[in-house]
Amino acid sequence: MQTIIKTPKQALNPAFFKQKPDREEIELFKKEFISLLDKINDSESEEFHKNLITDFLNSVYYKNNHYINTKGYNDLVIHNGKDAKSPVGVLIEVKKPTNKGEMISKNNLNAKSFQELVLYYLRERKTAKNFELRYLVITNINEWFVFDAQDFEKLFYQDKALLKKFEQFQDGTLSGTSTDFFYKEIAAPAIDKLQTEIPYTYFDIRDYNKILRNADREDDKKLIALYKFLSPIHLLKLPFANDYNQLNKEFYGELLHILGLEEIKEGTQKFIVRKPKGKRDNGSIIENAINELDSMDKLSRLPNISQYGNTNEERLFNVALDLSITWINRVLFLKLLESQIIKYHSNDKGYSFLTIDKIEGYDDLNSLFFQILARKEEERREGYLKEKFAHVPYLNSSLFEQTELEAYTIAISNLRDKARISIYSKSVLKGKNNTKEIELNPLEYLLRFLDAYDFSSEGSEDIQEENKPLISASVLGLIFEKINGYKDGSFFTPSFITMFMCRDTITRTVIQKFNEAKGWECTTINDLYNKISDLSEANQIFNSIKICDMAVGSGHYLVSSLNEMIALKSELGILIDKNGKRLRDYKITVENDELIISDNEFGIFKYIPYNHESQRVQEILFHEKQTIIEKCLFGVDINPNSVKICQLRLWIELLKHTYYKVGTNELETLPNIDINIKCGNSLVHRFSLDEDLKPALRAIGYTVAEYKEAIAKYHDAHDKAEKHELNRLITKIKSGLKTEIGRNDKTSRTLLKWQKELSDLTAPNLFELNSKEKKVIQKKTNETQKMVDKYKSIINEIKNNKIYQNALEWRLEFPEVLDDEGNYIGFDAIIGNPPYIQLQSMGEITDVYKQMGYETFERTGDIYCLFYELGNDLLRPNHFLSFITSNKWMRAGYGQSMRQYFVEQTNPILLIDFTGIKVFDEATVDVNIMTFQKGANLHKTETCQIKKDFSSGITKLSDYLMQNAISSSFGGENSIASFVILSEIERCIKDKIERVGIPLKDWDINIYRGILTGYNEAFIIDGKTKDELIEKSPKNAEIIRPILRGRDIKRYGYEFADLWLICTFP
């Protein structure tokens, strides 16, 4: 039997380990830890020491939230909830310190305590059907051996022979019935025969005695790993503050308040709206902006004002919101920058610049944006601003260039400093310095609010001396997504989904890319690792990968893709510095959607400016991220605010690894990455992907190579004038191509053909025509005129229809996926979560989608079907698309064309169905992940039905898939009728039923839609209200009937929710 022994630091989730604990928490831990050590008594009983452990754990972590006690024969258990009714999360087997005969050791796990743990585990897992076990512990109070329940699952629960003997033992059908019999005759042999390694975490609390009792606070850092290891977050596998799934509701709520917004719920969806009259603060950012826009009549200057709404009030709000998002994006980015600079300078607060004493009003903030951050240090005007913001670097980011909307309307300096805003009812400031104010100056409020949070707690093994909640870049990403989705209700894709989809799809893409480039037949990353010999060539191949998100939102998938690509480069061993030297001795992984860089000792990498090795690592990370963002990541969204926020998220990812240039106090400037994220309607385009661009290129006098070169130069431009000049050149090339293609596209060529024919028909004839010939000519002329009018109408509709004004011309916007002749090559991977909207609810644009000729278009269908189809068109041959969407296409009538498309025009390689599993916090929609390859259907799809035993916080989706996936074949009539995930046994049963049974569609019955009340809140009541109404008037019983909702109908029955319908209709 082999073992893998980890330290507490090695066992922790690195993303959790990166988080600083508060000083207050560490002091409590030290106090109770010392008390525990002092009370240990070798001569006392096992029961005595069990109580010590319980008291210690309760005092530091578990009291009031997680119940700790004995359970049956188990010495100690920690429950997942507050009482004994909740499932057990941790089993603890306790031995007294002197009981060496039964206690396990590093050299011998097969002792009685381990055998006991196996029995208790099987009773909990099999007999009690507990799927929520997290860890199992054996301790003699000094030494601790901690095993992950997932490892016990593989080692023991999946041992069919052991499980059978356990069941026989429980039933009393074996020759022995005592627990000793089980330990010696069943457990011990099963443990002995284990072929796989047993991983566990080991520590001895006596090793911490000196650290606990000395006065050196620096030594307290050595306690962090153990403090976190014993916490509920680790032992019960709970979400933690910078988990990408976890929204900091307090921060989010107060930020909305400062902006002048609030979140409301309508049905199952949440929306962000302007506060209603009576609750509005003139000092909130949006109300302040609306007052200035209105008083100066700024809307009258805006071109295309209709895009902001139909009424003046709508337009004022939407323009103000757009401006406010721009401003708050800048401020939040600067808060992250400020925290980064302070961290780089050993937490010296002298480097702060977002403070009330330095920013006294909105004028100062505007000056910071445009006179400091947008200008190189030598270009800044002399005076108090330059001195005040001496530590603020030049960033070279378009984030700090005036937007077109600001130029037409107002800047942040136009906002009134003296307006007042009420303090949020749950404000974080109310707990700071006993704040008594009920309202504040708006800018002071914003800066004090932000300062109450910690934006820099990631990345080092340290203690947070100030008690500030963490706001990481990941949490900000979630907040951006929610604010940005204010119109339609926002559904944030959780990190366990994005991580899996990006890792799986990009891994497939990397292998495919190398196989194509080198003629290899690798099937795994390990295969590639063993083949690669030329690091420079390997980086060229890797960096040629093109990934696109067709509905990019806040950029979550692109950020996840960035992290996974860096981690894959690390795994392949191809991360190199500017001298071509490989990055060794560091492990780069992705945990909780965060990039984790650790050294060989499992210490988290921390950038130390001017330290040679630290500088080298930081530069590698920055420039690798820069290269991938510039060359590999592309996105589109119909919402311009989404585009801004996506760009911001990518800048933030670069900001995390920016560095000081050697020998200077200058931070490395940010590249111009905004050009890769486009605003437009992904599904609408005038020009087909196979349109010949060569005539258009000749006409405008530019080549594809020159177009690509202009974009590459734009990325690296560090001068505003140069950047604007390159932007003008890029716009000129695009508009020129549009004009020339427009003249020569199929519709225009067809019109030209009919116009020529009409001209010929109406031209004077040399010879007189007889009446019969004249009739023939007139008839042809009329028909031809109709065709001319028809194609003119089509062209005019496209030119004048505002929907087409937002069309996304893929070939023109992304020359990176064209060859040098202008032929479309395609993206290597398309990943994302497209919108789910019924086409019939979308108005006139539905007809445009139909005219686009999508094969999967069904008026009763959903827009995500069109994304699947266009995504396949946009891919390179043999490359991959992965989407998470509603799973209705698998069985619904409207999904037939989608199923047929998958079967006939793609190679489905992975289908994961989440029916009955809630993936999105705010949505009840059932979803699936579909990954397909562009190519012929090989009829071999890896499929998995996710069941209720899956927990995203405990099990990686990839591990669950490995254990539960089955191979399916989709093709033929049955698959077009429905996509069903079945095992071989289930498929045989289904086939038998279909042979002998009659399908529901062939029954002679009518199926109707359920009751539509028009206003459920008025007509559907609970049982208590029903009883009250009948008590008041017994006649009410005649019109009150029980009602079942769709969610109450289960597979084999129903669950009555005690809801009643007031039937006031016939």
**pLDDT tens digit string along 184-210?**
999 999 999 998 899 999 999 999 999
Same domain, 73 and 168: yes
Q: How many CA atoms lie within 13 A of 225 on its CB side?
A: 21
Pair 34, 220: CB distance under 8 Å: no
Structure tokens at 934: 């562009």
730 within a domain of the structure (yes/no): no
Pair 257, 280: CB distance under 8 Å: no
Pair 625, 562: CB distance under 8 Å: yes
Same domain, 301 and 334: yes
Structure tokens at 540: 């060229």
- Could you tell me which of 366, 276, 369 has the C-alpha nearest to residue 317? 276
State the residue range of the domain holding 788.
754-806
pLDDT for res 485:
62
> How many whole angstroms separate alpha carbon 808 and alpha carbon 810?
6
- Could you tell me which of 871, 865, 927, 852 has the C-alpha nearest to residue 900? 865
Same domain, 25 and 110: yes
Q: What angle do CA 981, 983, 985 make, to 5 degrees?
A: 135
737 within a domain of the structure (yes/no): no
> How many whole angstroms separate alpha carbon 46 and alpha carbon 92?
12
Structure tokens at 565: 């690509």
Same domain, 228 and 256: no
Same domain, 320 and 268: yes
Same domain, 997 and 917: yes
Q: What angle do CA 165, 168, 173 make, to 5 degrees?
A: 130
Cβ atoms < 10 Å from Cβ of 218: 9
Task: Find the helix or strand (DSSP H, E) in which 967 lies.
Answer: strand 966-968
pLDDT for res 635:
96
pLDDT for res 177:
92
Residue 752: CB partners within 8 Å, gap ≥ 6? Answer: none
244 within a domain of the structure (yes/no): no
Pair 484, 464: CB distance under 8 Å: no
pTM of the model: 0.84
Same domain, 518 and 574: yes
Same domain, 229 and 255: no
**Helices and strands, number each (H, E), in the chain:** 41, 25
Could you give the C-alpha distances from 946 to 372, 412, 929, 952, 961, in angstroms and in order?
52, 49, 11, 11, 9
pLDDT for res 789:
87
Q: How many CA atoms lie within 13 A of 101 on its CB side?
A: 0
Domain boundary among 1002, 1036, 1053: 1002
- Could you tell me which of 463, 59, 17 has the C-alpha nearest to residue 226? 17
Tell me, what DSSP letter sits at residue 9? H
> How many whole angstroms separate alpha carbon 885 and alpha carbon 980?
16
Our measurement of the distance from residue 363's CA atom to the centroid of its chain's CA atoms, rounded to an integer in Å, reads: 36
Tell me, what DSSP letter sits at residue 718? -
Angle between helices 640-655 and 473-484 (to 10 degrees): 180
Q: Which ranges of the chain have pLDDT less than 70? A: 241-246, 267-269, 431-436, 457-461, 484-491, 602, 742-745, 766, 797-803, 922-923, 952-955, 974, 1066
111-140 burial, b at 16+ Cβ within 10 Å, e below that, comes to: bbbbbbbbbbbbbbbeeeebbbbbbbbbbb
Domain boundary among 657, 680, 703: 680
pLDDT for res 458:
57
- The enclosing domain of 961 has a CATH number of 3.40.50.12420
704 within a domain of the structure (yes/no): no
pLDDT for res 354:
93
Same domain, 522 and 657: yes
Same domain, 90 and 7: yes
Tell me the per-residue pLDDT of 959-1009, one tens digit each, with 9 for 90 and over: 889 888 999 888 777 678 788 888 778 878 888 888 888 888 788 888 777
Same domain, 789 and 919: no
Tell me, what DSSP letter sits at residue 65? T
938 within a domain of the structure (yes/no): yes
Task: Find the helix or strand (DSSP H, E) in which 476 lies.
Answer: helix 473-484
- Parallel, antiparallel or unpaired: strands 677-679 and 633-637: parallel
Residue 661: CB partners within 8 Å, gap ≥ 6? Answer: 667, 668
Cβ atoms < 10 Å from Cβ of 595: 22
Helix/strand/coil percent split, the chain, to 5:
50, 15, 35
470 within a domain of the structure (yes/no): no
Could you give the C-alpha distances from 291 to 50, 316, 414, 441, 788, in angstroms and in order?
66, 9, 10, 16, 52
The secondary structure of 736-795, three-state, reads HHHHHHHHHCHHHHHHHHHHHHHHHHHCCCCCCCCHHHHHHHHHHHHHHHHHHHHHHHHH
Q: Sheet harboring 1020-1022: ordered strands across?
A: 1020-1022, 1059-1062, 1040-1042
Same domain, 34 and 79: yes
Residue 934: CB partners within 8 Å, gap ≥ 6? Answer: 826, 872, 875, 876, 877, 878, 879, 880, 881, 906, 907
465 within a domain of the structure (yes/no): no
Number of structural domains the chain divides into: 6
Q: What angle do CA 733, 739, 744 make, to 5 degrees?
A: 120
Pair 296, 316: CB distance under 8 Å: no
10 within a domain of the structure (yes/no): yes
pLDDT for res 841:
87
Structure tokens at 323: 């401006």
- Could you tell me which of 55, 90, 81 has the C-alpha nearest to residue 201? 90
Q: Left (φ > 0), alpha (ψ -120 to 50) or beta: where does 259 sit? A: alpha
> How many whole angstroms separate alpha carbon 648 and alpha carbon 482?
15
